[in-house]
A and B are shown apart, each in its own frame.
Chain A
């Protein structure tokens, strides 16, 4: 939701990035204020997932130009763990399976790391168990998922729910959801998006990276950006997503870029 006079959380200017020497991001500008929900849409290969991973600090991507300020500080001064502790969260398109690490153990480690950073109390396993079970209700997850290996043998929908569970625990300032709708059936999509909506407030912001308009029926964006060939070529309100659905990416491809957040 757009609030008057809300703070700028993320300021991206002229961001360029390469992977294996190939330029994927070719000058991205984006401003995200607290309270806002932004959708970044684009075809496969447009660079939208790369943008998400660059923000989270994946080492496979080289930043070759531009700047990103997060709450006024240079994001690239922070390693991925420091970004997470500062309040940047990436929900993975393909959450990683880690057999041998109990999900509860992983969730508690992550939670306590971020709590410690914020000067808050860490929870012991018993306290955490009660805490996480409450959060799991939000995502209609069975407590059984605590005892299993991290994402091990989870279905696509279960993995995405586990991602949003982590978001619920870490309470990020900026959540970037990379194709969180992919591979979800209607029920799972409803549960996951409902969770995301419940977590949104006027102090945080969400960037939805998605190919399809479908998720935007559940999470209503304040801004829709269309990415193509490593640039944002068009920015509009939520109706832009319907235009895309009606006319396809080709149909709007030649429009003039509009400054984000304007």
Chain B
């Protein structure tokens, strides 16, 4: 692991500067994984708007800034981050600028069989369970950001829900950014063993408003008949760059419920790939982006029906104000043999200003003949009849607009399975939509 693979790109250079510091692991497979990611990261180019998958998302501002990897983190007390804790979790893992903070984490409510730990510690104890999954779901051959994350892989969150066990309380993984011009590569691995059920909240927050890069990868392996609920919140600083890849693999008759909410970041890009690998799997993939000013939020999802009798449901919403730009690309693949697939996708977008902009693109690739696939996209403004109705009851123009905007977003927030978190986010949406 040397600097030799660094390309001429200053952004990549600055990112890869941290690489030689990573100590080799005693595990050969882990070292190989990281080495091959370093190789790929050196070969891949920063995507531009000439790449089809990045047509609408110009990340060139990223290359202009200089970022450094984090070496030290400020000392924080639980009180400093009290507002980010979710009550009633079975465990909370806290990472500050990508570095695991055991003293800020909470393990006390964990039931004995549930494994919630940091990844580097788990390499000594759970390597056998991790090896088939780590780096196997989130492909980095053609994905620079996943490759970079994997090249820097040394810690992260590991959650293993044990076989035939329903974990009642959610697991909260909290990533806190505290330093401007820093880069972190958060990593999560969630393994839901057959017959298990678990709820996980993956949460990105900030204590400062400067620019930084979050480059996250999450892998979720769901066993036969297992159920995973995955809520992902991106509340990064308005100057931040948030790049993220999630890869989910669903085994037979398993279920995956995903809700991703993006409020923050100057530029964010979230790729979610869910593969229904065996028959009878079900997923629902919902999302909300609420952006303003010059923010850009890009969500790319791919739901891959690779086996028969799968079901997928998707509702993605964007609320775009100011000169912000939303992007949604929803790909649904139904592979040959994935008969009796039942899939529906809806992209609904609310533009609140004349300069707000949305690019939404459903992309259906269907290679089986006995399938039901529905999709639709709407782009609109607030409905005049709804506004008039509210105003005719005494609500001012502004109050009526705010209420309708809130309602549009609340449909997604409502689906979050944790009441206290839902209430808090509803409050955030209310505040963000309540202008003057």
Contacts and interface: CB of A to CB of B under 8 A. Distances in A.
Interface of A: 56-60, 79-81, 83-85, 89-90, 92, 95-96, 98-101, 106, 109-110, 113-114, 117, 149, 166, 170
30 contacts: A56-B388, A56-B392, A58-B388, A60-B384, A80-B388, A80-B391, A81-B391, A81-B395, A81-B396, A81-B397, A84-B394, A92-B389, A96-B385, A98-B386, A98-B404, A98-B407, A99-B411, A100-B409, A100-B411, A106-B403, A110-B393, A110-B394, A113-B393, A113-B395, A113-B396, A113-B399, A117-B394, A149-B407, A166-B393, A170-B393
A109 to B, nearest CB: 6
A96 B305 CA distance: 38
B326 to A, nearest CB: 19
A83 B391 CA distance: 9
Given A79-B397, A96-B386, A109-B399, A84 B392 contact: yes
A58 B407 CA distance: 22
B394 A170 contact: yes
Contacts, number: 75
A96 B389 contact: yes
Among A100, A110, A117, chain B packs the most CB atoms within 10 A around the CB of: A100
Contacts of A89: 392
A56 B391 CA distance: 10
Nearest to A85: B394
B288 to A, nearest CB: 12
Contacts of B396: 81, 113
Contacts of A166: 393
A99 B408 CA distance: 8
Given A98-B389, A99-B411, A100-B411, A113 B404 contact: no
Interface string B383-423: 01110111111111101100110111111001000000000
Contacts of A101: 403-404, 406-407, 410
Contacts of A83: 392
Given A81-B392, A85-B394, A149-B407, 5 more contacts: A57-B392, A84-B393, A90-B392, A109-B395, A114-B394
A123 B410 CA distance: 24
Contacts of A113: 393-396, 399
Contacts of B410: 100-101
Interface of B: 384-386, 388-397, 399-400, 403-404, 406-411, 414
Contacts of B403: 101, 106, 109
Contacts of B392: 56-57, 80-81, 83-84, 89-90, 92
A163 B406 CA distance: 22
Nearest to A53: B388
A172 B284 CA distance: 46
A149 B406 CA distance: 13
Q: Chain B interface secondary structure, helix, strand, loop or mixed?
A: helix
5 pairs of A and B residues whose beta carbons are closest in the complex: A100-B407, A110-B393, A84-B394, A113-B394, A96-B389
A99 B411 CA distance: 8
Nearest to A89: B392
A143 B399 CA distance: 25
A165 to B, nearest CB: 11
A81 B392 CA distance: 5
A78 B373 CA distance: 50
Contacts of B397: 79, 81
A84 B391 contact: yes
Given A59-B384, A96-B386, A79 B391 contact: yes
Contacts of A109: 393, 395, 399, 403
Contacts of A96: 385-386, 389
Contacts of B386: 96, 98
A60 B385 CA distance: 10
Nearest to B389: A96
A230 to B, nearest CB: 22
Nearest to B383: A96
Contacts of A60: 384
Contacts of A92: 389, 392
A85 B394 CA distance: 5
A57 B404 CA distance: 20
B408 A100 contact: yes
Contacts of A149: 407
Contacts of B391: 57, 79-81, 84
A216 to B, nearest CB: 25
Contacts of B395: 81, 109-110, 113
Nearest to A112: B394
A101 B391 CA distance: 15
